[in-house]
Amino acid sequence: MDERPFRSVLYIPGSKERALEKARGLAADAIIFDLEDAVAPDEKANARDLLARTLAEADYGRRAKLVRINALSTDWGTDDLDVIAAARPEAILLPKVDGPADIEALARRLDARTETAETRIWAMMETPKGVLNAAAIAAAPRLAGFVLGTNDLAKDLGCRPGPGRAALQMALQTCLMAARAEGIVAVDGVYNAFKDDAGLRAECEQGRDLGFDGKTLIHPAQIDIANAVFAPEAEEIALARRQIAAYREATAQGQGVAVVDGRIVENLHVATAERLLARAAAIETLGEGN
Ligand code: COA
Ligand code: MG
């Protein structure tokens, strides 16, 4: 799994020069450069060229950079891939993925070019077929992460997610389960009301508690909240350190388990604590590099 943090994953419309420039100084952990839904049909060609130039010239630091192309079945998908491939993208985010065949088709095209030898594929999980095929998609070639497309999914389901998103829980958890089964990254869908901080925070907390690595965002004002919610808290870091120390001491004395704050600490808790510390360290490292 990609060890970089994915707390805040910001969509930037590939057509918006100002937003592309601004993003270089924003604290988002990852960026999705979008050629799909955020770009109107008559802007597609310009956005593609602007984005290819921007990726070739601009420095976005160590953060993960994904390019969302249009589906290969659309009028734009193949041209998107041709133009973006030259910029050696680290990852292509494929929209409307229905099954592993969609990923395999893109993987074959990436295989055919030397510039994209290392390019990973991420899948938008946003159609009913996609969710039902989540396990097979997660296991497809080059697949490195899932992005939940909750707006498209709600549209196709005909549901009203509302606060708490009860109608989407099955889909969210199915995708998360599939991602974890294959050890890939999983990022939650967007929160549309970008001026509603309390609502965003509540939805980030829900996504975090479900197990997601972070949240996709549409506006810079959402970054700080996602970064805070998906980062380990100071008390969690301190507790993880104490658990690891107590467990070491217990095993040194020939015991299989330790007790910290009245709770049992076993091997598996130590693994969780170590993962939490690794996540905190990765966040710190990214902060230094951007
Ligand atoms: N990434 C980077 N910068 C962004 C941004 C984004 N997604 N959205 C806005 N900004 C920048 C603006 O360029 C502006 O910069 P400036 O003040 O330095 O010139 C600043 O942030 C404030 O923007 P604001 O005026 O509050 O937003 P807006 O009303 O112009 O746009 C949206 C609101 C929602 C239309 C816009 O944020 C957007 O297009 N978001 C992305 C949508 C998207 O990608 N959808 C597809 C996936 S769901
Ligand atoms: Mg979508």
What are the pLDDT digits (tens) for 222-258? 999 999 999 999 999 999 999 999 999 999 999 999 9
In 3D, which of 6, 5, 9, 4 has the Cα closest to residue 33? 9
Angle at alpha carbon of residue 117, lines to 111 and 119, rounded to 5°: 100
Ligand 1 centroid to 151 CA: how many Å?
18
Fold of the 8-229 domain: TIM Barrel (3.20.20)
From atom 43 of ligand 1, which residue's Cα is the shortest distance away?
Answer: 38
User: Average pLDDT of the chain?
Assistant: 96
Q: Are 231 and 283 in contact (CB under 8 A)?
A: yes
d(CA 109, CA 96): 18
pLDDT at 115: 95
Mutate to test the pocket of ligand 1, among 50, 148, 197, 218 (most ligand atoms within 8 A of CB): 218
Backbone angles phi, psi at 166, to 5 degrees: -55, -40
pLDDT at 72: 96
Mean pLDDT of 167-186: 98
What are the pLDDT digits (tens) for 44-70? 999 999 999 999 998 999 899 999 999
- The distance of Cα 188 from the centroid of its chain, to the nearest Å, equals 7
Q: Could you tell me the pLDDT band of residue 1, with boundaries at 50, 70 and 90?
A: confident
Token pair belonging to 102: 């969609």
d(CA 165, CA 179): 20
What's the one-letter identity of residue 64?
A
117 pLDDT more than 90:
yes
What are the pLDDT digits (tens) for 92-103? 999 999 999 999
215 pLDDT more than 70:
yes
pLDDT at 290: 61
Token pair belonging to 281: 């360290």
Token pair belonging to 53: 């130039």
Mean pLDDT of 260-271: 97
Any atom of ligand 1 within 6 Å of the Cβ of 218: yes
pLDDT at 194: 97
